[in-house]
Amino acid sequence: MQSAYDISEDAIMEVYPKVAETIAEALGRDLDEVTLTTPLMGGLDAESIDFLDIVFRLERQFKVKIPRGKIVEDARGPLSEEEFEQKGYLTEAGFKRLQEHLSEVPPERFKSPMKARDIPRLFTVETFCKLVVRAQEQATKSPDG
């Protein structure tokens, strides 16, 4: 079985130019500031409200549906909410799972203990590229997509 983490570099690079352009527009940044590894919150000064705008723009740009909270939901994977987080903090299993899911994020950016609400601080441009690729794959699998 193919892991949810197995998104090819080619698939990422195929959507990257449009994702970068969309993020740059949404945040009022120059395109050359938006690289695959740029963190949205720390590097591009995005705020959590900007993620909604970015996701909305990506849905329109790529003609896909991206449910709200999809990155965290995908990161949780087969873990129940209780297995993933307790009292607002990621469990050890949740932390490990998040690191695997956000494999594009450098390990030193993961700080334990981690509050679940701080997960978006890890998101990079590549995180959103992967989100788009997954949404495209989902659309091709879905009978009404």
**What pLDDT was estimated at residue 134?**
93
Residue 89 pairs in a beta bridge with: 86, 115
- Per-residue confidence band for 3, with pLDDT thresholds at 50, 70 and 90: very low
pLDDT(25) > 50 = yes
Residue 90, classed as helix, strand or coil, is: strand
What secondary structure letter does DSSP report for 124? B
Q: What is the pLDDT of residues 40-69, one digit of tens each?
A: 999 999 998 999 999 999 999 999 999 888
**What pLDDT was estimated at residue 145?**
45
**What pLDDT was estimated at residue 141?**
81
Q: What is the pLDDT of residues 73-85, one digit of tens each?
A: 888 999 999 999 9
Tokens at residue 26, please? 């949404």
- Per-residue confidence band for 144, with pLDDT thresholds at 50, 70 and 90: low
- How far apart CA 74 and CA 25 sit, in angstroms, is 26
Q: What residue ranges define each of the domains in the chain, with the CATH number in brackets?
A: 9-138 (1.10.1200.10)
Residues 67 and 43 sit within 8 Å (Cβ to Cβ): no
Pick the residue with more confidence: 79 or 71? 79
Angle at 120 between CA 115 and CA 121, to 5 degrees: 85
- How far apart CA 62 and CA 118 sit, in angstroms, is 27
Q: Which secondary structure element, helix H or strand E, spans residue 112, and what is its range? A: none
Q: Please, which residues have CB within 8 angstroms of residue 90's CB and are 6 or more apart in sequence?
A: 84, 98, 112, 113, 114, 115, 116
Write the single-letter amino acid at 56.
F
